[in-house]
Every structure is written in C-alpha cells, then in structure tokens.
Structure 1
Amino acid sequence: MNTFAPLAALALALELSSPSLAQAQTPDKPYTVEIWSDATFGPDGKLQKLEVADAATQPAAFVERVKKQLASARIPPVVDSAGQPATFETGVRVQYLVTPAANGGTVRMTGLAIEPRPVKRYGASEPDGLPYDTPLNVRLSCTVDTAGECKEPKVLEADGTYPVLRRWAVASLQGWRFAPQRINGQAVPAEVEVTLTLTIDNYRPADFRNPLRIGS
C-alpha cells in the first residue's frame, strides 16, 4: 500500500551470502528498503543514543552495522523556545539499495533523513475507477502534531489525473500515526513528506465474461 518496504526484505538480502540460498531466492533487480531508528541528539548536535526500530526482527549483525554507520552522525544543534541548545529526540530514516547477485548480494546506504518515525501505517479502502496492476504514486505532506497525528494532508504530486487516487491518499495518511519529535522532552510539531503507492490487483479471470473459455 505504501513505499516503505518490509524490513524482512533486507534480512533476505543479507542472507544471500549463502550461495545455495542465493541461487534459489535471489530477486532479479536491485530494490530499495528503508530502516527506521529512534535517535537522541545532544545540545552539541552529536548522537547520544540510537535504537533501531523492530531490531528483534532483524539480523543482529545488520543492527550493529546500522548503529556503526550512524554512530558518528551529527546535526546542527537544535534550540529550545529560549534559543538555547537543547536535546533533540527524533526518528532517523536510512535508505539502502540492495543489489542481488547469484553469489551473494550487496547492501549500500543511499540516503538518510531526520524526521518523525511512523508507528502506524494505514491504507484506506481501494477506490473504484483506477487501472489494474499499475503502481500509482502520490506524494503528500502533512504536519505531525504533538500527539503524533497527521494534520491537514496535502497532495504535492500524483500519477495521472485521478481524483479518487488523491482522495484515497489523503484518507490513508490521515490514519497514520508518528512518534513526534521532542525538544528537551517536550513534543513539537513537524512537517513530513510521505509517498504512498497503490496497486490494485486484477483478480478477474482471463475472459471474465465467459469463464468456460478460460484456458481454451
């Protein structure tokens, strides 16, 4: 329903270091996965604490790899309402490109973003009037309030000219929940951008008008 790929996909890619498993399960093309963490940055902008989300479901070696890659992360110091450097809690999204190969794949970090972490994703009911088996993307923005709710979603860009697709995307994002960013422990609002992808599968038979002709 959305572009956040299952974390299990990366676990599979890491397991492809086994030649026998690689030959049996290697996907055909490179693909992207995103890994989320919860981070705390100090008043100096240096990383103080990092916890990989859903770490228990990930290979331990990869969790350590993520932590090592982000250990030296640093951001411009965040200030509080008085203009003083403050502690900043936020989500961290890391994007990886997984390139499969018959003799083992590679995993390369290609992007990093500091933004509220989604803790609940929601997809509204599939609308009628859209083409089957065609991925349709919608890029939206919204304000994550101090309760983690997505307020006033706005469509920034969408495939095609389908009003029902835009309405679906807005309704879906309204159901998302986020861990709000915090300054000195106090939740603060933040702007986020999310891209949702909707693909409606075609379950109709090859000749749905006359099922007796299927396979003939």
Structure 2
Amino acid sequence: MDFEKAFNHLKNDKIMFFLISKFKKDITLTDRYESNYPKAISMLIIEQQVSFKAAITIKKRFLTLIKNKNTDEVLEIDDNEMQSIGISHRKVNYIKNTYLFFRENKIDFENLDENKVIKELTRIKGVGKWTSEMFLIFILFKTNIFSKGDLALINSIKVNYNISKLSDQKLDAFIKKWSPYNTIASLLLWKSIEEKVFYKKIR
C-alpha cells in the first residue's frame, strides 16, 4: 500500500494532517495479518465486544491452543477447553462455524469485490459486517474501508472534530472526503484513541 499517496490526499483535512504528523511512522496494516483465513476470522471474533487488552491475552492463549493443528483438529477441540482460555460459549460456536465454513467452501476472496466478500463472510453465524470489514482491512488490505459500526472510530471522530452528535449525513461526508483512503483514515483515528492524542486538546 502506498501510504505516502494516502497521506498526501488526507492531509487536506486539517485534523487528518495533525494525526498524520503525530502517527505517520506508526501506521501499518501488516501487524494483524494472518494468511490462514479461519484463524484470522477467529481472532476477529475474539475481539468482538471485549477490551483491547483482554483480546490480546485471549488471542495469545487461542494461538497456543491451536498451534500446529489443522482444521479438523481445531474442530475436535472440546468446547470446554476453548472456554477455559476465556472464550465465551457463544464465541466458541462462532469460531467452529468459521472453521466449518472454510472446510466446506473454497472461495477466492482476494478476487472478490468488497460487497461480495461481506456477503460471503456474513453467511457464517457469528460473523457480521464489522468482522467482515476488519477482514477486508487487515487481511485483504483494501484501502477504502470505513466501518460505521466501529464505536472507537465514531468516538475518535467526535472527539477530534469536536462533534457531540455525529449524524449519518455528516459521517457520509467524512467518508466521501477521505475516499479512496478510508482505511488509512481509520488507522489514524484508531491510533488517536489508542494513544489518547486528539486534535481538539491542543487548540
């Protein structure tokens, strides 16, 4: 991905210019990449509705649990054993649904457009639009994805742009302005929340 080209486009927005000046060297897409798709989606399922810190701990335990196991062997892991590492019963089912889906379906995701990727992945019980969008960003490296359902992104916009109530119309205007680099805008907004560094606090 050509980050410089993306930064040059986004810096016309003064808040993005500020975030780029702060986090330019820290922005990457490869830190969460996983070539094994069911494993990648399982990691995203673990991240659903838990804190960032808790997700890191549980993902490490999950990777240890499934190390050197093929799809069939992962599916054979006892549900209670998965739950013992901090994965809820519901998410255990979602993870196994994911491995079953990829065992039974051979799909060339890299050559599908974004909407078709979302359509295919959301066939898996437990995989919704947010998880599919994170897959598009961190696994397929799509450059123009913005997840409207990501609360951290919405909160980052509200704080950085000093907006108390973010309407759909206003959000769509941001997405249009940042296109075709909404993914990079998202990375900057996430980093702002993670580091607690916001534009409005230095004005």
Greater RCO, CA 8 A, separation 6+: 2
Q: Which protein has the larger Cα radius of gyration, Structure 1 or Structure 2?
A: 1
Q: TM-score, normalised by structure 1?
A: 0.24
Q: Greater share of helix residues, 1 or 2?
A: 2
Q: Greater share of strand residues, 1 or 2?
A: 1
